Amino acid sequence: MASGSSIEWTESTWNPITGCDRVSPGCAHCYALDLSARLKRFGQAKYQRDGTRPSSGPGFAVTLHPQTLDVPLRWKRPRMIFVNSMSDLFHEEVPLEYIEEIFAVMQRAEQHTFQILTKRDERLSELAEKLPWPANVWMGVSIENRRFVHRADHLRRVPAAVRFISAEPLLGPLDSLELDMMDWLIAGGESGHKHRPVQEKWLIDLRDRCVEAEVPFFFKQWGGQRPKSGGRLLDGKEWNQMPESGIPLTT
């Protein structure tokens, strides 16, 4: 239903949807796809449906789990919650009505801060005016190389209290990315057996431009065989900056 998280920039995950399809190079070695295959083998009920598209896989068909919708309402202690770590809220197969139900829960659970991340920037932009945007909902897009900086343009049209960019896995320089109207940037390298190495100069460029633009910068990891393989130091220090809006991390 929901769980604590090892992701450095959040505290818990909530998955009222599971399953997805690859849409860009950042999806090539998707951790959620690999994890879903393992969970299917272990008999986890949420991951028994196989995707029918070549870009999905075992246990990774888009599946709605309405029985988990009320989970954040049961949590009394305020926390950061990453929404759909095992899916994409704005996937084309997720009905607008179900997205509205998720937003309704986030509105009611005002003690929490919800972090949403999508690669479906066009659908996000199309649906944004139909959705409420309470102050405790942060909206982000993933951008892995300069081919996809346009995702930030669609994000700018969303009236979220906090707009953020996840440049992870960072697969190329983002020198053409504009940071105006952005409230946070996360950057990091890829992990796993087939990880593609990140270059320090790409990270330094992003860090320096965030500092200049006064955009909080969060360096998640260098990546490698495992998420922690390369550590989290950039220029000799950890970068754990967060937007001022929302609750402070306790992890």
Structure tokens at 165: 């960019």
Residue 191 pairs in a beta bridge with 224
pLDDT on residue 5: 83
Domains and CATH numbers, the chain: 2-16+65-221 (3.20.20)
pLDDT on residue 2: 47
Sign of CA dihedral 202, 208, 213, 217: positive
pLDDT on residue 103: 98
pLDDT on residue 1: 43
Buried b (16+ CB within 10 A) or exposed e, 32-62: bbebbbebbeeeeebbebebeeeebbbbbbb
Question: pLDDT truncated to tens, each residue of the chain (251 aa)?
Answer: 446 788 999 999 999 999 999 999 999 988 776 676 666 566 676 776 766 676 666 668 999 999 999 999 999 999 999 999 999 999 999 999 999 999 999 999 999 999 999 999 999 999 999 999 999 999 999 999 999 999 999 999 999 999 999 999 999 999 999 999 999 999 999 999 899 999 999 999 999 999 999 999 999 999 998 888 899 999 999 999 999 977 777 64
Distance CA 33, CA 58 (A): 8
How far lies 123's CA from each of 5, 56, 106, 110, 139, in Å?
27, 19, 20, 25, 13
